[in-house]
Amino acid sequence: MRNYLSFEGLSWLVFVLFVIIVPLFLSSFYLRLMSLIGLYSLVVMGLVLLTGYAGLASLGQAAFMGVGAYTAAILSSRFALNPWLSMIAGILLAVLIAWLIGLITLRLKGHFLALATLAWGLVITGILRNWISVTGGNTGFGSATGNRFPPLSILGYPLRDERLYTYLIWFFVLLVLFLSLNLMRSRMGLAIKALRTGSIAAASFGVNVSQLKMLTFLLAAAFAALAGALFAFKELFIDPKIADLSTSINLLIMAVMGGIGSLTGAIFGPGLFVFLESFLQEYLPWLIGRSGNYEIIAFGFILIFILHRARQGLLPLLRDLLPASPVKPINHQAEPLPKRILDRAEGEVLLRVDDVSKNFGGLRAVDSLSFEVKRGEILGLIGPNGAGKSTMFNLITGVLRLSEGEISFKDSLISKLAPHQIAQRGIARTFQHLNLIGNMSLLDNVVLGGYGRTKANVWQGMLGLEGGERERARAEAHRQLKRVGLAEQSFERADSLALGKQRLVEIARALMADPELILLDEPAAGLRKHEKAELIDLIRKLKAEGITVLLVEHDMELVMTLCERIVVVNYGTKLAEGSPKAIKQNPKVLEAYLGSESASL
């Protein structure tokens, strides 16, 4: 514990001292560069949250800077509002606009946000340039064009000095970095990271995905607007170029250079960009024999090169040289997380699938399918490839909306609920295509599964005020890993494990949600013989603990050994239902299997 704090504390100390000392020795030009780097860093940190973690891209961050800058400038000049309040107003307006954009695009595929923000950036620049009576148009807004606005001041002391202002900007950079780092370590932060790997997975352990995407987008907009407002009060003169698409693209380049998934890279990237730009500006004209902004050629190629060869950006290459930070140990004495109360009535109907159909265009993937899962049983759902099993899983968990029919869980209708709401009711699942976050430890992956059992909100996360909840979740995750036999490897990266073990981690993560029903999607795929035996033991143990299991599996031996009842589907309809023994002898089943694939039945 102490070790952990001192390492991290030391890095902070070094960084803060650096920020305090360096400006003392800089000339006004380099102070300006440092300020600009700070301002860009603020925006890029938002981009990293958005693109690096949540897997969304924005090509309109500069437009949010523009909104922050212009709102602050206009309010403090035309309406003589206090500069600090104007700044806050600018941030709020940017957040409001981001909310509206998010509302119409976040439900669509991720790149639609990029395209929508691109269009929005062009719209806001168009307005800033042409609404001359309010924004001053292309000529700009500031004292030189008769729109004087006051500088920021602290206790009546105006911050006009370049050095002081540099400190102010970097104070905000450190603050935002601190908050963002905290956030990304918190419950919400882990969930944001999960978005990038797969929002279905995130939703399956109770994350309200659209809300979380929105939250990240709003944060990114707020950071950008903060930077914009700080820029306005620094220059006391702004023009529409600040909101321009080229500025947005530059910000994206900075984020990629620093490593799109790294918050510290969000400071490194702008630094590198600014210095590279002034370097290229000096030497490229000499090379080409004419002056001009030829650095865009270089930046274009750099962008492509980094994505080809160093996707994590340039900073992580350096970081590999440093010793890894020690891991915080698990507090096994932490109070357990609250558990669901299982009102055990063995044999009652837990899940009812009633006459369910799903159409994809003209294709009927599931056709009037009905079956029931009784509490405490292990039910197998089998069928040839393309029979509609995975579609059925997606219908139960709310990932797909059913075309006809009803699904109810514990006698209440769930087929209209969102995936995270269904997860919260006590249905957990694993995935046929593994859905772990490769660069996170097993423990953190499993902690994610407990999202629905924990409560800390985004503010608590940012301020590091999650209290003991996080410790409790870690202890619980460790217990779940122990349950599947992987406690020893808790701190290893998920992608360092063999496929079979990763499947077990997924089960541990599902168990972490404390489910009543667990849906296992081909858990034995890719497992070796002794691993399968372990899996069988594990599933039997779960049943003994009162958990109901719905199993999709191709390995007939495993299905026949484990399941008490089996439902066979083919072409989306139910072919047969019954005990393993009855299924084995059912001629229709035999025909379907031998007809489509020569599986050993």
Interaction residues for other proteins, span 99-118 (CB under 8 A): 104-105, 107-112, 114-116, 118
Stretch that binds other proteins, among 235-243, 463-471, 505-513, 524-532 (CB under 8 A): 235-243
Q: Which is nearer to other proteins, 203 or 477 (CB)?
A: 203
Q: In angstroms, what is the minimal distance from the CB of 299 to other proteins?
A: 6
Q: How far is the CB of 174 from other proteins (least distance, A)?
A: 23
CB of 257 to other proteins, least distance (A): 11
Kindly identify the residues of this chain, within the stretch 2-41, that bind other proteins according to CB under 8 A: 27-30, 32-33, 36
List the one residue from 177, 179, 222, 236 that touches other proteins (CB under 8 A): 236
| 53, amino acid identity | Y
Q: What is the dihedral of CA 170, 175, 176, 177, to 10 degrees?
A: 90
CA distance 54 to 216: 7
**CA diameter of the chain:** 90
**Segment 486-505, which members bind other proteins (CB under 8 A)?**
none
Give dist(CA 547, CA 515) in Å, integer. Answer: 7
Site for other proteins in 392-431 (CB under 8 A): 398-401, 418-419
For other proteins, the closer CB: 135 or 454: 135
Min dist. Cβ of residue 428 to other proteins (A): 16
Closer to other proteins by Cβ: residue 82 or 359: 359
Number of Cα atoms under 13 Å in the Cβ half of residue 487:
12
CB of 195 to other proteins, least distance (A): 8
For residue 563, state whether it binds other proteins (rule: CB under 8 A): no
Q: Is 235 in the site for other proteins (CB under 8 A)?
A: yes
Q: How far is the CB of 160 from other proteins (least distance, A)?
A: 9
Q: How far apart are CA 511 and CA 381, in angstroms?
A: 20
Closer residue to other proteins (CB): 429 or 483: 429
Angle (nearest 5°) at CA 293 between 129 and 281:
125
Residue 209 sits in the site that holds other proteins (CB under 8 A): yes
Identify any residues that bridge with 378 across adjacent strands, giving them in sequence order: 549
**Total residues interacting with other proteins, rule: CB under 8 A:** 85
Strand partners, 520: 551
Please tell me the distance from the alpha carbon of residue 561 to that of residue 545, in angstroms, as a whole number.
Answer: 19
Site residues (CB under 8 A) for other proteins, limited to 145-164: 145
Closest CA to 33 of 237, 291, 274, 292: 274
Site for other proteins in 259-298 (CB under 8 A): 278, 281, 285, 288, 290-298
Using alpha carbons, list the distances in angstroms from residue 579 to 11, 347, 530, 567.
62, 15, 26, 9
Nearer residue to other proteins within complex by CB, 150 or 464: 150
Q: Where in 122-141 is the site for other proteins (CB under 8 A)?
A: 122-123, 126-127, 129-130, 132, 137-140
C-beta of 298 vs 525, nearer to other proteins:
298
Among 185, 241, 410, 543, the residue binding other proteins under the rule CB under 8 A is 241
Query: Does the protein bind other proteins through residue 314 (CB under 8 A)?
Result: no
Which DSSP symbol is given to 441? B
Q: Does 232 bind other proteins (CB under 8 A)?
A: no
Q: Where are the alpha helices (DSSP H) in 310-388?
A: 315-319
- 72-78: long-range pairs with CB below 8 Å, 24+: 72/228, 72/229, 72/232, 72/233, 73/141, 73/142, 73/147, 73/149, 73/232, 73/238, 74/134, 74/135, 74/141, 74/147, 76/149, 76/150, 77/141, 77/147, 77/148, 77/149, 77/150, 78/147
